[in-house]
Structure 1
Amino acid sequence: MQKVVDYIEERRKSYENHDFFSRLLANESLPAEKRLAWGPSVVPFIMGYSDLNKYVFRKEEGGAQSDQLQVLLNAHTYEEDFHWQWMLTDLEKLEADKVMPLSDTARVLWGADFKHSRRLCLELAALAAAAPTYAVFAMVESIEAVSITIFRHCQGITLRDGRECEFFGTKHYLAEASHGIKSPEVEEERLPSLDATQRTEAIRMVDRVFSLFDDWSAALLRLALENGDHNRRYERMIQESKDLLPEAETAAAAAFH
């Protein structure tokens, strides 16, 4: 398993060369608000990831407690339990926490602009559903590698009012860096050996996860560079959703004729 962990670090270093970092997140010539303009669009993924931890990665029934990797995964899912609350707090700091009816909120969260985050959750859930524990462990380690890379670059980004975000900032980075699943003791002493077939499967999982996050990061970059006015974006997304209704009703009516 350690060889898989080492490979994840190689992929992480490659991921850090993504345009998302060089053109946006690590680009100190841009205002902080622009560097973090992608923040609201990750809400579906962050909330979905909370559910992935609870309902997909965590397994406590049957013989789960005798599976060394599953025990580590279970502990990790509890460490992740509260991070999403920091993100919701940050929406206000990013001036992205507009008050709106629940129906309009649904139109935004399930709008086309945020589809990259919804799809990422579904892709990860589908991959994990049929995967053995060692492959799921490789998936979670890969997600952690992506996460710690993003939040390392979020450190110290100061908004116009002098505040730093919690989720998109140093606080979250330090929390990610302290996770038990990343500790040297875990990597050196508690990781089981994999045979060649298992190692190949785990590495295939790593490659797939990083490919998904490459696409996701490209979508975040496009979204942030297009427009940083969150309220205008929400208004457009809400109207686009409402405009679909007559078209959908016409299509539904045609289906019955």
Structure 2
Amino acid sequence: MEDETIDPRQRLAFSPVIAPLAMEFSELCKRILRDEPTTNYIQEMVNVHTHEEHFHWQWLLEDMEKMGIDYPMRFSDAVRFLWSDHTKVSRSMLPLFERYTRGSHPIIRLVAIEVSEVTANVFFRSTMSAALQLQEMTNTEFRYYGMRHNHIENTHTLHTPASMQIMKEIEVPEEIHQKILEFIDVAFEYFTDLINEFHAYIMTHSYQVPFARVYQSEQLLSSV
């Protein structure tokens, strides 16, 4: 990701693969993590974060269009790609996180957010170089992969000094402590698999024809 001798569009050629995750995270925020109204102060912190976070998928679509990989295609082809092996990990985030967070203690929902945030910070720092190169090439801002998203991730209400102090003082009930530790391990394993999925895609697909292999595989299947 930081090798500036590689075309920045190729370094971000996994963008179609991250799309299911971006959309699912929006759904996770709106349908699973958010619980309004609430009198629980931890849940209120979660609610505020979900309102700050759920629209970021729009920036991804903008960046893909600016990179020139927003190709028109038949609806059936789009469905084939979104449910192909290329996005197997990306599209599995919602059911995985929902298993641990639906109807759960607000602390577990807060942990789900923090695991996602710390991973996002590492990820968007790694995409920064490519985004800045693209901004110089196109004279336009890349909000998802560039400075805007990275800045937002580091200035959420959850990350203000007051919120951080509140989180430090949270006492975790013993009955959910082990479940939280299990979820943290599962979540980080998921994000590791996700990055491997991105890497596999950019190693086998050109940003110039990002869906070519999907079409080829479908043609082979249809000929059987």
Q: Which runs of 5 or more residues in structure 2 are unaligned?
A: none
Return the offset for 1:245. 5.7
CA distance in 2: counterparts of 1:34 and 1:244, whole angstroms: 28
| Structure 1 residues 72 and 227, CA gap change in structure 2 (3 angstroms) | same
| Structure 1 residues 246 and 32, CA gap change in structure 2 (3 angstroms) | closer
Corresponding residue number in structure 2 for 1:8: none
Corresponding residue number in structure 2 for 1:222: 200
Corresponding residue number in structure 1 for 2:6: 30
2:147 is aligned with 1:170: yes
2:102 is aligned with 1:129: yes
The amino acid of 1:215's aligned partner reads D
The amino acid of 1:57's aligned partner reads L
Corresponding residue number in structure 2 for 1:114: 87
Corresponding residue number in structure 1 for 2:185: 207
Corresponding residue number in structure 2 for 1:151: 124
**Of 54, 59, 65, which residue of structure 2 is paired with 1:86?**
59
| Structure 1 residues 136 and 241, CA gap change in structure 2 (3 angstroms) | farther
Most deviating of 136-145 and 236-245: 236-245
Return the offset for 1:241. 3.7
Corresponding residue number in structure 2 for 1:59: 35
Deviation digits for residues 197-242 of structure 1 (CA, Å, limit 9, x no counterpart): 43333232222111110111111111112222353x4233135346
Most deviating of 233-242 and 175-184: 233-242
Most deviating of 123-132 and 39-48: 123-132
Return the offset for 1:127. 2.5
CA distance in 1: counterparts of 2:7 and 2:81, whole angstroms: 25
| Structure 1 residues 126 and 197, CA gap change in structure 2 (3 angstroms) | closer
**Of 165, 169, 173, which residue of structure 2 is paired with 1:188?**
165
Q: Which runs of 5 or more residues in structure 1 are unaligned?
A: 1-24, 248-257
TM-score, L = length of structure 1: 0.77
The amino acid of 1:31's aligned partner reads D
Return the offset for 1:80. 0.9
Return the offset for 1:87. 0.6
- Asked if the contact 2:125–2:150 (Cα under 8 Å) also holds between the matched residues in 1, the reply is yes
**Of 237, 248, 251, which residue of structure 1 is paired with 2:214?**
237
SS in 2 for 1:155: helix
CA distance in 2: counterparts of 1:202 and 1:230, whole angstroms: 42
Most deviating of 28-37 and 96-105: 28-37
CA distance in 2: counterparts of 1:92 and 1:138, whole angstroms: 33
Most deviating of 171-180 and 128-137: 128-137
4+ runs deviating over 6 angstroms:
none
Most deviating of 194-203 and 113-122: 194-203
- Asked if the contact 2:87–2:197 (Cα under 8 Å) also holds between the matched residues in 1, the reply is no
Give the superposed CA RMSD.
2.2
Task: Mark the structure with the bigger radius of gyration.
Answer: 1
Corresponding residue number in structure 1 for 2:75: 102
Return the offset for 1:189. 2.8
| Structure 1 residues 156 and 236, CA gap change in structure 2 (3 angstroms) | closer
Q: State percent identity of aligned pairs.
A: 25
Deviation digits for residues 6-37 of structure 1 (CA, Å, limit 9, x no counterpart): xxxxxxxxxxxxxxxxxxx2333432122212
